[in-house]
Amino acid sequence: MSITTPDDRISTYHPVAATTQFAAGFPVFDNADIGVTVDGVERFDFTISATYAAGISTDAKAVFSPGIVGAVVVFGKRAPRRSSRFLNGNSLPIPDQNLALDTVEAEVQESARENRRAHKAPYGEDGGVFTASDVGNAQANAASAAASATLAAKWAENGDLDVTPGKRASEYWARKAQEWAIGGVAGVGSFNSRTGPVTAQSGDYSSDQISRGGGNVENALDAIEADITATKASLLSGVEDLLVSNNSGNPNTHIDIGTGKARVGSAVVANLATLTKRLNATWVAGSGNGGLDTGAVAASGTYFLYALRKDADGTFEAVFSTSPTIAGVNTALLTGYTIVKCIGVVLTNASSIIRPFLMYPRDEYQFVTPIMDASNIATTLTANLLALTVPNGVKTKVKLRFMFRSPATTNSCLVYDPAKGILEAGGADEGGVVGTPQVADGYSVGNAEIWTNTSRQVRHVAGAAGTLWVFNDGFYFPCGRSA
């Protein structure tokens, strides 16, 4: 038997000369499983070079052009997901079982790595959530706190002050500071060697404290507490609401994005009001304006919708792209914005207009009018691929209905995920999703939810020659919505 050794799924490099390729020193199961940071900042302007055997690559590399220098970290960022499902009663090939277990092991290793890097709190207590600024300024904040404590102790020891026992808490002295800043220090000859009404100066409070909450310590503390509350959920990743729909006034060209929130790690953005973006025009910030990252809208196209966060104020925007990954989005028009997460997808028809659809929670799409993706096509004992009306470049679970006709009195047709390889239809083989009644040239119907490959295809095969109709009701495109 074989085992896997403990692994943080991180490879670090420190090139001093411009270098283009950085190997991932850990197994990779999909190109999207790799992330790269350079000098602590995540980069997306790279491609992946990898060869896969039995679903695993051990030679994956992140490739930059031009080359880069600095502290380079190649890390695993596999989103937990089910990549295989084995059928009851079938044999379970050892390579397939090992691949499924290896992908789970990689996800557990990355989860354990992130847990070790996270802030820890004692059992029974809630952990805090800290921004990058909080962590980076921790030492300076500690020094400032120590100085403030020393100053508070001096105030408490001043005989001219009416100090109630036990009132040496920071809140008490914050209130005192507010009173003194407004009307002078009652009963004290001087404050920080100054007499009379006190106004904030360098050395009294930090510049960050003065700038928050109206310029006094108490309000600054309230503002900081509000910051912590607002960022408690930032370590979670997913999409809340942000449902997508055809715009009622311009359903062929415009898309409405409902209120909600998208987050990946510490990057979070909230949409507070419905935002409308136009697919047939290049991106411009603002509701009702263009939404395409580059080029012109195409016929029978797939357009992925990404949530954007404005760097200056954190407000929500969105952009369409034909790229199924963030790394492939054209950012030439997106200066000042960060791409947070993919939140949806829309399809165009042969006339380059948006197909009417309905979107439901948990990333479910339904076409307003079902699409006939196959009409009276031949299906035989030889398995063949069939292209469907679903997003291109990604695997989706499509909701299909079937009608099958065969001159054989006993027959069935199997439609399935091409990743399963070559299967055979029939009761003594891999079964079927639709079969014929016990009458020659009779019709039968059936339905199933089936995963496609990244080229929008499923595979079909029959136990004997027949003809097949396929009706497409919609699909699931996973973006991480939990409800």
3-state secondary structure of 264: strand
Say what the pLDDT of residue 130 is: 67
pTM for the full model?
0.53
> What stretch of H or E contains 253?
none
Q: pLDDT digit string (tens) for 130-168?
A: 666 766 677 777 777 776 666 666 555 554 444 444 544
**Token output for 317:** 């925007």
Question: Using only C-alpha atoms, what is the Rg of the chain?
Answer: 30
* Cβ atoms within 10 Å of 65's Cβ, excluding its own: 10
Say what the pLDDT of residue 163 is: 45
% residues pLDDT > 90 (the chain)? 55
Q: Judge whether 281 and 291 are in contact, CB under 8 Å.
A: yes
CA distances in angstroms from 432 to 203, 383, 463, listed in the order given: 78, 13, 9
Q: Within the chain, which residues score under 70 in pLDDT?
A: 1-5, 83, 119, 127-132, 134-136, 147-221, 224-236, 482-483
39 burial level (CB within 10 Å; 0-12, 13-18, 19+)? exposed
Q: Which of 255, 303, 245, 298 lies closest to 278, judged by CA?
A: 255
d(C-alpha 310, C-alpha 304), whole Å: 19
- The one-character DSSP state at 235 is T
Say what the pLDDT of residue 241 is: 92
Q: Judge whether 434 and 412 are in contact, CB under 8 Å.
A: yes
Say what the pLDDT of residue 92 is: 75
Q: pLDDT digit string (tens) for 41-52?
A: 999 999 999 999
Strands 61-68, 46-49: pairing kind? antiparallel
Output the CA torsion sign for 422, 425, 428, 431.
positive
Residues comprising the chain, all counted: 483
Say what the pLDDT of residue 203 is: 56
Say what the pLDDT of residue 229 is: 57
Say what the pLDDT of residue 162 is: 46
Q: What are the beta bridge partners of residue 469?
A: 403
